[in-house]
Chains A and B, each alone.
Chain A
Amino acid sequence: HLQLQESGPGLVKPSETLTLTCIVSGDSITSGDYYWGWLRQPPGKGLEWIGSIFYTGNTFYTTSLKGRVTISVDTSKNQFSLNLNSVTAADTAVYYCARQPGDYGSASHCDHWGQGTLVTVSS
């Protein structure tokens, strides 16, 4: 039974770095059939894709956050992480991790999601 669990601080100060980890259980992150992604949802707004990573390290990032975002994978711990630097209040959102069917060249949809974690950017 696949489970994804986000972990990290719920409060980050402006200009600092937001770091979240997604712990995957019930499936190997090195499966060649999936990307692993981060998404977010500001309060009262829609879903926004942040980026995705393949276990080999191949990554895709949204253009709107490029330069501030890094996604990495730790295959030994079966987890992947999000770093978003220079945060502002506009980065306040519920952050989700998700599994995305795909191959090395592209991801597709999100077939399993974590429960989400609210991150507030405030001093």
Chain B
Amino acid sequence: SYVLTQPPSVSVAPGQTAKITCGGDNIGSKSVHWYQQKPGQAPVLVVYDDRDRPSGIPERFSGSNSGNTATLTISRVEAGDEADYYCQVWESSSDHQVFGGGTKLTVL
């Protein structure tokens, strides 16, 4: 089965840039999607198809995907960005939706 690997935690100071990685075998050939989940809330889609943003998501959230690593970049980090972030792909060879283990973003 396809595995997505995320760092358990990332810390960043307010106003700085946070980068959250998602590793997978040749993940650059797949479409990667990212979710933000705050405590007690349902996940919210923040980036889809590698780099597109749903309406209402700030431009501070951006994505990239190449080789074996996809990256979610959050610019000018705010306290309200503190949350768990999950990457996800649809693995077409097995028809499975696969999630990474999640990364807890801490704003210092």
- B42 A49 Cβ-Cβ under 8 A: no
A52 to B24, CA, bound (A): 23
A window 75-123: CB within 8 A of B = 96, 100, 102, 106-111, 113-116
B window 43-94: CB within 8 A of A = 43-45, 48-49, 54, 86, 88, 90, 92, 94
A110 (CB) vs chain B CBs: closest residue:
B45
- A106 B92 Cβ-Cβ under 8 A: yes
Given A63-B94, A108-B90, A49 and B99 touching (CB < 8 A)? yes
A116 to B86, CA, bound (A): 17
Count residues of chain B with CB under 8 A from any CB of chain A.
Answer: 25
B49 surroundings in chain A (CB, below 8 A): 108-109
Closest-CB distance, A84 to chain B (whole angstroms):
17
B106 within 8 A of A: no
Given A63-B1, A116-B42, A46 and B95 touching (CB < 8 A)? no
Given A46-B86, A46-B101, A60 and B45 touching (CB < 8 A)? no
- Taking Cβ atoms with an 8 Å cutoff, the residues of A that contact B are 37, 39, 46-49, 52, 60, 62-63, 96, 100, 102, 106-111, 113-116
Can you give 29 contacting A-B residue pairs, CB < 8 Å? Answer: A37-B97, A39-B97, A47-B37, A47-B43, A47-B86, A49-B96, A49-B97, A49-B98, A49-B99, A60-B95, A96-B42, A96-B43, A102-B90, A106-B95, A108-B48, A108-B90, A109-B31, A109-B49, A109-B88, A110-B33, A110-B35, A110-B45, A110-B88, A111-B45, A111-B48, A113-B42, A113-B44, A114-B42, A116-B42
Q: A47-B99, A52-B97, A109-B33 are in contact. List 5 more A-B contacts (CB 8 A).
A: A39-B97, A47-B102, A106-B90, A110-B43, A111-B48
